[in-house]
Amino acid sequence: MMVSFFDQFASPLYLGIPLIAIAITLPWVLYPTPSSRWINNRLITVQGWLINRFTNQLMLPLNMGGHKWALLLVSLMVFLITINMLGLLPYTFTPTTQLSLNMGFAVPLWLATVIIGMRNQPTVALGHLLPEGTPIPLIPVLIIIETISLFIRPLALGVRLTANLTAGHLLIQLIATAVFVLLPMMPTVAILTATVLFLLTLLEVAVAMIQAYVFVLLLSLYLRENV
């Protein structure tokens, strides 16, 4: 039984071909493309308003050098939200439950922020490794600790997204299994459990959006330290 619970996180295959590539590229087809008309429909208007609001909020603490990342960060957030939300549908696969995919997003973007800091302002970038006013005997220890914390950042980004989505999917499957088991024996308890399942599903919808926002927000904070 426990093995079947974790089978939902295995990448599906068709004729020996992994379908994770389709699961990653297909969500872009769902977005309406802006038209050349002066007046857009309601869906495109709401989509543009939400993206503009998020872009303004994300770029507010960054200087003009960081605004070059606006398109990349906003596209990444919309992409993660779409994949996370589609993964809540029945008989679907969530690519962001794979740590390898999340690390593939986190490591290059984090490394890009570090390289930008080392190239543009190496003194300030290296100064983050040693807080001001540190006693001399503690300097080697603090440098080691800050270096370790710097290299842990991409791992924390990937693990946080993977763990939250994986835990939510497991809880939904466990409670759904309990509902089907209890329904013929204790219908009242099964109905109460189904209510909990419905509330948990709403919570997972919020988690799917919040985790995508937190992923991009932390990347923007790392970028702010280096631009």
Segment 153-180, tens digit of pLDDT: 999 999 999 999 998 888 998 898 889 8
41 pLDDT tier (thresholds 50, 70, 90): confident
Residue listed under structure tokens 């507010």: 60
Domain extent listing, the chain: 1-226
Whether residue 1 has pLDDT greater than 50: no
To the nearest whole number, what is the mean pLDDT of the chain? Answer: 85
Rounded CA gap, 190 and 162, in Å? 30
Instruction: Provide mean pLDDT across the span 17-43.
Output: 76
CA 142 to CA 130: how far, in whole Å?
7
AA identity, residue 141: V
Q: DSSP assignment, residue 11?
A: P
- Helix, strand, or coil here: 38? coil
Closest-CA residue to 109 (of 218, 219, 224, 215): 219
Query: With contact defined as beta carbons under 8 Å apart, do 175 and 201 qualify?
Result: no
| pLDDT higher at 107 or 5 | 107
Using the predicted structure, report yes or no on whether residue 150 has a pLDDT greater than 60.
yes
Q: Are 97 and 166 in contact (CB under 8 A)?
A: yes
Q: What is the pLDDT of residue 30?
A: 77
Residue 150: both structure tokens together:
């710097």
Q: What is the pLDDT of residue 4?
A: 63
CB distance 135 to 80 below 8 Å: no
- The answer to whether residues 174 and 196 touch, using CB atoms and an 8 Å cutoff, is no
Model pTM?
0.84
- Cβ–Cβ < 8 Å for 165, 94: yes
Q: What is the pLDDT of residues 93-120, one digit of tens each?
A: 888 888 888 999 999 999 999 998 888 8
Render the burial of 103-135: b for 16+ CB within 10 Å, e for the rest: bebbeebbebbbebbeeeeeeebeeeeeeeeee
- Does residue 17 sit in helix, strand or coil? strand
Whether residue 214 has pLDDT greater than 90: yes
For residue range 62-92, list pLDDT tens digits in order: 888 788 888 899 989 989 999 999 888 887 8
Place of tokens 């996370």: 84
Q: What Cα–Cα distance (Å) separates residue 112 from each residue in 120, 152, 154, 223?
A: 12, 15, 11, 9
Per-residue pLDDT tens over the stretch 184-209: 888 898 899 999 999 999 999 999 99
Kindly state the tokens that stand for 83.
């994949």
Q: Assign 98 to helix, strand or coil.
A: coil
Percent of the chain with pLDDT over 70: 95
